[in-house]
A and B are shown apart, each in its own frame.
Chain A
């Protein structure tokens, strides 16, 4: 079975704190894709990053960074120096391998991040 688990339901931090959102996935595929999305109250899912299973290089983009570890099936997301505008629900998602799965994502339950001023 394929599954994504975001164990943290809600996180509350004070502005400028660093925060890490955890994501653990399960799949038997050797090739797969991992995503992070941000969902503000408006509802739209905003794409943040995509990672291929064969590329374990970690990435930093501005205040965002991602730590992908196949050995522990984890794809964690860190926001450095958080800001109030970072407040949203964050989803981790898994896309199975296969050309018939190009639009299919398996989502975690989401982590609600609240950044207080």
Chain B
């Protein structure tokens, strides 16, 4: 049973560029959430998707957008990258029904130079 998988694991981008991160949820999970974790901080909730729509959003600007596909996989897009966007981006999945344990992937380390 595959857990939450994310790609790429590491990437370096230049300020002003755009980036897309990908996530496949754990089998049987239909809800995907994204988190940003700056160095030395706890993860911060960006947004959550289920039924292919954004359902909840944290305190992040519109430069952060996402998408969920019919197979429940998801993408996180960040436009006009800033140096401060450098962080570990974590994807999490959970089922909407039943036990709501939230599982995380290994994350994508983004460095903006």
**Chain A 14-47 interface mask (CB, 8 Å, partner B; 1/0):** 0000000000000000000101010000111111
Q: How far is the CA of A108 from the CA of B100 in the complex (A)?
A: 19
On whether A95 and B102 interact (CB within 8 A), knowing A45-B90, A103-B31, the answer reads yes
- Rounded to whole angstroms, the CA-CA distance of A91 and B31 in the bound complex is 21
Whether B107 lies near A43 (C-beta < 8 A) is yes
Q: Which residues 96-113 in B have Cβ within 8 Å of A in the complex?
A: 96, 99-107, 109
Q: B48, A109: Cβ atoms under 8 Å?
A: no
Q: A45-B92, A95-B100, A103-B50 are in contact. List 6 more A-B contacts (CB 8 A).
A: A43-B90, A44-B107, A46-B104, A50-B99, A102-B48, A109-B41
Q: How many residues of B contact A (CB 8 A)?
A: 31
Binding site secondary structure of chain B? strand
User: B18-54 interface mask toward A, CB cutoff 8 Å, 1 = contact, 0 = none?
Assistant: 0000000000000111010000011111001010000
Q: Is A13 on the interface with B (CB-CB < 8 A)?
A: no
Chain B residues packing against A (C-beta within 8 Å): 31-33, 35, 41-45, 48, 50, 55-56, 58, 88, 90, 92-96, 99-107, 109
Query: Is A105 located at the chain interface by the 8 A CB criterion?
Result: yes
Residues on A lying within 8 angstroms of B by beta carbon are: 4, 33, 35, 37, 42-47, 50, 91, 93, 95, 99-110
Q: Closest B residue to A103 by CB, please name it.
A: B33
B102 near A35 (CB under 8 angstroms)?
yes
Which residues of A sit under 8 angstroms from B95, Cβ to Cβ?
A: 102
A104 & B45 in contact (Cβ 8 Å cutoff): yes
Assess whether B103 is in contact with A47, with CB atoms less than 8 Å apart.
yes
Do A102 and B94 form a contact, CB below 8 Å, given A43-B106, A47-B103? yes
Q: CA–CA, A42 to B109, complex, Å?
A: 10
Whether B48 lies near A104 (C-beta < 8 A) is: yes
Interface centre among A91, A102, A106 (most CB of B within 10 A): A102
The answer to whether B42 touches A101 (Cβ under 8 A) is: no
A103 adjacent to B94 (CB under 8 Å): yes
Which B residues are CB-close (under 8 A) to A4? 42
Contact B105 A47 (CB under 8 A): no
Does the CB pair A107–B88 fall under 8 Å? no
Q: Can you list 15 residue pairs at the A/B interface with Cβ under 8 Å?
A: A35-B101, A43-B90, A43-B106, A43-B107, A44-B106, A47-B103, A47-B104, A91-B43, A102-B31, A102-B50, A103-B50, A104-B33, A104-B48, A105-B35, A105-B43
